Amino acid sequence: MHHVVVEQWSRRHSFVHQRDARAKLLVALALLAALATSPASPVTAVPFALLVAVGIVAARLPLVSMLKKAAVVLPFSMLFGAVEWVAGQPLAGAALLVKSYISALTVLLLVASTPQPALLRGMESLGAPRLLVLMAQTLYRYLFVISEQAQHMRLAAVCRQGSAHRSQRRAFHAAAGALAILFARSYVRAEGIHRAMAARGFAGEFHSLRPPRFTRMDAVFAGVGSAVAVLAHLLVSHA
C-alpha cells in the first residue's frame, strides 16, 4: 500500500528523526508560510527547494522516491496552472505548479521523519482538541485494516460475478449494499475495540511509554530552522 513505505521511513534514525515533533512542526509551518507569502514566480521556489533537499539528505531519506511521492499534487496543480496560462499569466501558472510541489515535499519530509503518534501528540500539546487527536489516532490505526477489508470484499465480488454482466442500476445497488456491509463490519469492529480498550482501563487518553522531551537541541533546531525560512523569504522578496 501507498503509505506503508512512509510509515517505515518515519521509523528510521537520523538527526532529523530524533528532533521533537513540535520543533519539526514549527519549522515546517515556518517554511510553508515563508514560501506561500513570497512573490509568485517560479524562481522564488529555488532556495526553498534547496532547504527541503538539505532536510531530506539530513534525514537520510531516499530523494528520488520522495520526489515521486510528492508528485501526487501535480495533476491538480497542472490543471490550474493551465487555467492561469490560458488566462494569459504563464509565469503565475508555473509558480503555482512549482510552489505547490515544494510545499507537498515539505509536508512529506515532516511525516516521513516523524512517527504518526509522536506527530499527533505534538499537535495536541500545541493546542489541538484532545477528542480530535484521539479520533485521528484511531482513524490512522484502522485506516489500513478497513481499506484492506474493502479490497478483499471487492476481490471476492469480482470472483463471484466474473466480469460485469449486469445492468448499471443493479451494479449501483450492489455497490451500495457492499458499502453497507463494510459499514456494518466497521461498526461491530468499533464496538469490539471499545470493549477491549475499556478492559485495559482506557479513560479518555492514550499513554506513551516515552513521554516527549523538548531538549535544548530541539530549541536550537526550531530557532535556526525558522530563521532560515524567514531569511529565504527575505532573499527572494528583495532579489
Partner 1 sequence: MHIPDNFLSTPVWLTLDGVAAPAVLWVSRRARKELDEARIPLLGVLGAFVFAAQMVNFPVGVGTSAHLLGGALLTAILGPAPAALAMTAIIATQAFVFQDGGVLALGANVFNMALAGVLAAWLPLRLFAGRRSVGLFLAGFFSVMMSAGLALAELTFSGIQMPSKLLALSVGLFAVGAIVEGTITLAVARAIERLNPRWTGAPVHQGSRVWAGITFAAVLVVVLGLFAASSAPDGVMRIGQWADLHARPVLAAPMADYSLPLGPLWLRRSAAALLGLCLVGGSAAAASYFLLRRRSS
**Helix (H), strand (E), coil (C) string for 144-182:** HHHHHHHHHHHHHHHHHHCCCCCCHHHHHHHHHHHHHHH
Where in 73-92 is the site for partner 1 (CB under 8 A)? Answer: 73, 76-77, 80, 83-84, 86-87, 89
Size of the site for partner 1 (CB under 8 A): 79
Instruction: Determine contact, residues 109/66, Cβ cutoff 8 Å.
Output: yes
User: Largest Cα–Cα distance in the chain?
Assistant: 66
Nearer to partner 1, 199 or 216 (CB): 199
Q: Does 126 bind partner 1 (CB under 8 A)?
A: no
Where in 157-196 is the site for partner 1 (CB under 8 A)? Answer: 168, 171-173, 175-184, 186-187, 189-191, 193-194
Q: Of 42, 140, 214, 230, which one interacts with partner 1 (CB under 8 A)?
A: 140
Name 115's Cβ contacts closer than 8 Å, sequence gap at least 6. 10, 11
Three-class SS of residue 137?
Answer: helix
Q: Of 39, 62, 90, 129, which one interacts with partner 1 (CB under 8 A)?
A: 129
Three-class SS of residue 20?
Answer: coil
Kindly state the smallest distance separating residue 141's Cβ from partner 1, in Å. 8
Nearer to partner 1, 45 or 221 (CB): 45
